[in-house]
């Protein structure tokens, strides 16, 4: 499913875009096109016909040209071109287009033509974007933009905004402004904890000492430091890789804040309690946070905390951002906004790397001015599918710390820890003092191959020695079958997907052996999809069994399905989602575990919801399993899809397959779709050639979806190295607005 295309212009939904004129215009020199708006529109139409641009890109440029003409002001062809290109860039996840980057490296900046683009008949001599852009300078572009009534610096309501050398669609420019205003306002407002000698600060120090025991290795406890920093600021970010304890940290933070609030009871007044809301971008991420929050709350040392603190003071119910803000069907607007703000004193958002600039702006719009906002996430993961990389921009200085001497002194007094000198810099800025990075993983053992590979990818340090260890099975939690030469995909996947029993570990995990313990937790050997399909086929439930029995079976099957997941870098082709889904179905059909003769809704079909459905209460990313259940009047099996409730309650929701509107089979899913999820055993499949979507962030995200086992399959062993050398760099101006540039 294509990502939504942010646009200020609802007219785009009503334009006739079904029958574009894709005939090739007469070949013109670039200088001729830059002086003829009709010829420029013809070239854009041709690029659209070649699948280089989307219909909305061309129609946006056409609308601006038509509006200008109607006002007696012909639109400069340069503005027409740049309007189409900025729309194109928004569709690729950028918030704006930087003229310097565009003109210095047009092909890499625009990724035009795309790898899957084509040329229409008779268009072999089609001009490329760089052919046109090579004739322009930044000064020429800015002169054309500044001379157009469709462009302003934001002081006027125009479709395009030029800020410095960055060109925006107005809506996204305003989103950045809202985010920066919301953050800066909170950072500049002192809290009751700012003064280290105040009673609240002293109580914070006492509470943190009870929540955090002294590190046995004597090192700095970065979770405790993160708690202190986040408590001190009305806006805070806690970032860290998998297993660094982000959830544990935020639960202790909320306990500390509630303990401080509850301690101030004057003149017989009721105990003060902060109103806390918890949210995540997707239903899947919300359900996982719900489970981990509930566990972390139970593990708090309640007997040692303030006597007024109660378990109910820390909520465990997590909702999606869409539900929190109150989505309105067929509208970008939410029920909660500046005129109808949320009732909340503290808002925590998990998996913040998935939140795009549009949604983050809506959060700030709906948040009361006094409310504290805490973002959790891994700064190194993939950014949101839609425009922006908000968390990445907020955390781009997190590794170096950049803490001021005043912050270091405050932390020393409150936590008892001395900040390492390399995290203290004199150039520390306001946002730096509110960003905390967790630097120790508690999930993986020191000799974990998953951890070693993820760290190497993240640091672009894939040494020959590490790759050799991955190849020769030196790690008992990582396997890379057939990496030395291009491999045949079905043969390598077969041993991973074909296990029919939980004890049937693939041969590639030669050192895995029996069940093992990871930090005191029993971990089963790696399994494939055969395990959950065996459960689907071995049960003896029938029409006489109550619904509770079917619910229990569905819970077992959903848990077993989450033990293994194939992740893909691309969607199309034999190495992509489409090809691998077909491969898995074909394999298990041959084994008799899938009966495709039952129709498309066969028993065991896993599906992922690809769009929010508020009528059904399903969110984009929710995963369910198809059961053919004998619940009809004649007990004839009917296809129903079992979804886990998104509130972490463990309840099962049964949805008729006929009611699902947006979904896809999900034996294989893209890495993007896997964000917010974890799987016992993850298999990442990289194709046999490099593409622009294969980046360091994508590979890192794929690896870190694995909790205990990771398999890597590559069509060409060089693809892994080459992918890690590519980065996700999204054009934006948010960092500059926050003083981070």
Cα 505 to chain centroid distance, Å, stands at 31
Q: What is the CB neighbour count within 10 angstroms for residue 533?
A: 24
Contacts by 491-494 with C-beta closer than 8 Å and gap 24+?
492/713, 493/566, 493/580, 493/583, 493/584, 493/683, 493/685, 493/713, 494/587
726 CB-near residues (< 8 Å, 6+ apart): 690, 692, 694, 695, 696
- Is there a binding annotation on residue 262? no
- Is there a binding annotation on residue 72? no
* Cis amide linkage into residue 80, ω under 30° from 0: no
Record the tokens describing residue 305, joined without a space: 């905390």
* Sheet of 151-152, strand order: 96-98, 166-169, 160-163, 151-152
Distance between CA atoms of residues 506 and 495, nearest Å: 6
> Alpha carbon of 568 to those of 511, 664, 669: distances in Å?
26, 14, 6
Q: What is the CB neighbour count within 10 angstroms for residue 108?
A: 12
- Is there a binding annotation on residue 282? no
Instruction: Name the nearest CA neighbour of 681 among 468, 391, 477, 408.
Output: 477
Half-sphere exposure of 667 (CA within 13 A, CB side): 24
Instruction: Name the nearest CA neighbour of 651 among 521, 568, 558.
Output: 558
- Is there a binding annotation on residue 247? yes
Tracing tokens 């991420």 back to the chain, one arrives at: 285
- Is there a binding annotation on residue 242? yes
Half-sphere exposure of 305 (CA within 13 A, CB side): 26
Tracing tokens 């607005």 back to the chain, one arrives at: 737
Parallel, antiparallel or unpaired: strands 679-686 and 663-665: unpaired
Cα 187 to chain centroid distance, Å, stands at 25
Q: What's the full length of the chain, in residues?
A: 741
Tracing tokens 């202190």 back to the chain, one arrives at: 228
Binding residue positions: 240-247
Query: Binding site for ATP: which residues?
Result: 240-247
């Amino acid at each position: 499913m294509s990502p939504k295309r942010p646009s200020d212009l609802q007219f785009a939904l009503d334009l006739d875009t079904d029958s574009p004129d894709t005939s090739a215009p007469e070949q013109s020199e670039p200088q001729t096109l830059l002086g003829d708006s009709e010829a420029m529109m013809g070239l854009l139409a041709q690029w659209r016909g070649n699948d280089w641009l989307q219909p909305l890109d061309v129609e946006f440029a056409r609308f601006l040209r038509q509006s200008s003409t109607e006002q007696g002001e012909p639109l400069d062809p340069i503005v027409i071109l740049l309007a189409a290109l900025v729309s194109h860039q928004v569709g690729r996840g950028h918030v704006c287009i930087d003229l310097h980057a565009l003109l210095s490296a047009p092909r890499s900046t625009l990724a035009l033509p795309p790898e899957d683009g084509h040329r229409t008949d008779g268009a072999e001599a089609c001009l490329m974007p760089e052919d046109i852009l090579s004739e322009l300078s930044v000064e020429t572009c800015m002169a054309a933009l500044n001379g157009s009534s469709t462009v302003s610096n934001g002081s006027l309501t125009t479709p395009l905004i030029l800020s410095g050398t960055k060109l925006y669609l107005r809506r996204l420019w305003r989103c950045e402004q809202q985010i920066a205003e919301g953050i800066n306002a909170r950072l500049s407002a002192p809290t009751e904890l700012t003064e280290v000698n105040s009673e609240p600060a002293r109580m914070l120090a006492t509470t943190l000492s009870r929540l955090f025991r002294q590190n046995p290795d004597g090192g700095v406890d970065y979770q405790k430091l993160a708690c202190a920093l986040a408590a001190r600021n009305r806006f805070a970010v806690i970032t860290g890789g998998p297993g660094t304890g982000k959830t544990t940290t935020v639960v202790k933070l909320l306990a500390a804040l509630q303990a401080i609030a509850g301690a101030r009871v004057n003149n017989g007044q009721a105990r003060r309690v902060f109103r806390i809301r918890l949210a995540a971008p997707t239903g899947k991420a919300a359900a996982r946070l719900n489970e981990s929050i509930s566990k972390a709350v139970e593990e708090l040392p309640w007997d040692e905390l303030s006597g007024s603190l109660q378990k109910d003071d820390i909520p465990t119910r997590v909702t999606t951002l869409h539900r929190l803000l109150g989505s309105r069907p067929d509208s970008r607007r939410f029920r909660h906004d500046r005129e109808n703000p949320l009732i909340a004193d503290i808002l925590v958002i998990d998996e913040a790397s998935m939140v795009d600039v549009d949604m983050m702006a809506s959060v700030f719009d709906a948040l009361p001015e006094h409310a504290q906002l805490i973002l959790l996430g891994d700064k190194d993961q993939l950014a949101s599918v839609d425009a922006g990389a908000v968390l990445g921009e907020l955390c781009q200085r997190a590794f170096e710390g950049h803490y001021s001497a005043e912050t270091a002194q405050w932390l020393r007094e409150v936590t008892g820890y001395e900040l390492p000198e390399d995290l203290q810099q004199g150039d520390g800025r306001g946002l730096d003092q509110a960003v905390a990075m967790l630097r120790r993983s508690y999930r993986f053992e020191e000799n974990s191959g998953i951890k070693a590979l993820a760290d190497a990818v993240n640091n672009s340090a894939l040494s020959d020695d590490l790759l050799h260890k991955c190849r020769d099975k030196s790690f008992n939690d990582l396997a890379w079958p057939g990496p030395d030469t291009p491999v045949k995909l079905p043969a390598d996947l077969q041993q991973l997907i074909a296990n029919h029993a939980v004890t049937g570990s693939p041969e590639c995990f030669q050192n895995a052996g029996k069940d093992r313990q990871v930090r005191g937790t029993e971990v089963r050997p790696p399994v494939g999809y055969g395990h959950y399909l065996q459960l689907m086929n071995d049960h003896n439930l029938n029409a006489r069994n109550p619904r509770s029995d079917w619910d229990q079976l569905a819970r077992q099957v959903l848990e077993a399905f989450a033990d293994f997941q194939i992740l893909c870098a691309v969607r199309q082709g034999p190495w992509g989602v489409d090809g691998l889904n077909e491969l898995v179905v074909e394999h298990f059909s041959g084994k008799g575990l899938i009966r495709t003769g039952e129709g498309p809704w066969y028993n065991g079909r896993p599906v992922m919801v690809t769009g929010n459905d508020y009528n059904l209460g399903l969110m984009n990313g929710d995963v369910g399993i198809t059961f053919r259940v004998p619940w009809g009047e004649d007990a004839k099996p009917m296809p129903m899809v079992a979804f886990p409730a998104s509130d972490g309650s463990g309840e099962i929701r049964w949805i008729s397959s006929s009611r699902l509107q947006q979904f896809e089979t999900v034996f294989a899913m893209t890495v993007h779709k896997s964000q917010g999820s974890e799987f016992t055993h993850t298999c990442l499949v990289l194709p046999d050639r490099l593409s622009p979507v294969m980046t360091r962030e994508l590979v890192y995200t794929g690896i870190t979806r694995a909790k205990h086992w990771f398999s890597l399959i590559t069509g060409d062993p060089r693809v892994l190295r080459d992918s890690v050398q590519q980065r996700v760099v999204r054009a934006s101006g948010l960092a500059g607005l926050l003083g981070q540039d």
